[in-house]
Copies of this chain bind each other. A is one copy, B any other.
Amino acid sequence: MVVYAGQGDPRRSIELLWRASVAEKRSGPKPGLSVDAIVDAAIAVADEHGMAFSMRAVGERLGRTAMALYTYVPGKNELVDLMYDRAMAELPTSYELDDGWRAAVTRWATDMWEFYGRHPWVLQVSQARPVLGPHEFAVIEALAAILVPTGLPGRELRGIVGAVNYFVRGAAQTVAEARAAGGATGEADEEWWYARSAVLLEIEPDLAKKFPMLHLLENDREPIDPELPYLENDAVENFRGGLKVLLDGVEGALTSSPP
């Protein structure tokens, strides 16, 4: 299972995403399930077990076999598309601009960051060929609605939207993966790091001399929140610091071009 997205039959996928199916009178047994129920169950399973969830597991959670799902959904690819868009429905669709665009973008980014924390499997869904669901659109619309009023030209805006998006995804991915690794192996960050670096230093004793700049970079690290595990602290620091730099850059673009 590598990367999913937009790989099903276009018409079927989009009809499902936009819930454009017409409820007709039908013969046969009453449906015991629904697309929504299946998508919800699948999200719950994926939240726990990551993108490597199985159709069997989703079926089991609903008291059915895996094959029963295929009555409602063409395949796992399409199900993932539906999960993706449905999860996005949790996110706000607009942000107040009273405190300026910078505060609003920061809130957007933080919301996304927390969202990815709740649903890490979303980071596994390809962005290249977007799912094109209504909620995905709404989320990007929300960011666009913050930035368009700054008056920057289209090309520049797209660069900014892309950069913010990539950055948040990347930052979130690191935490998500750290958590997943910890959960899968039952090995906390500290233990993992300790075991690895001990062996590493044993095999390569003068690591600090070989990579002096890295060594400098890692100096004077202080935990932001001592409650958080090791690697997550790094991630939070990187997220805040990186976002600041990025938004400074946007500010620069604003002052250099006429508002």
Contacts and interface: CB of A to CB of B under 8 A. Distances in A.
Interface of A: 1-3, 5-7, 10-11, 14-15, 18, 20, 50-52, 124, 126-129, 132, 134, 137-138, 140-141, 144-145, 148, 153-163, 165-167, 169-171, 173-178, 180-181, 184-185, 189, 192-193, 195-197, 199-200, 203-204, 207, 210-214, 216-221, 231, 234, 237-253
A151 B126 CA distance: 38
**Identical copies in the complex:** 2
B203 A15 contact: yes
A7 B159 contact: no
B161 A217 contact: yes
A159 B52 contact: no
B127 A174 contact: yes
A214 B154 contact: no
Instruction: List the 7 closest pairs (A to B, CB-CB), nearest first.
Output: A159-B241, A166-B170, A249-B249, A163-B242, A128-B177, A162-B238, A128-B178
B1 A241 contact: no
Between A20, A126, A153, A189, the greatest number of chain B beta carbons within 10 A of the residue's beta carbon is seen for A126
Nearest to A224: B155
A77 to B, nearest CB: 11
14 contacts: A2-B51, A5-B177, A126-B177, A126-B181, A129-B196, A132-B197, A132-B200, A141-B212, A144-B216, A148-B216, A158-B221, A158-B241, A245-B252, A248-B252
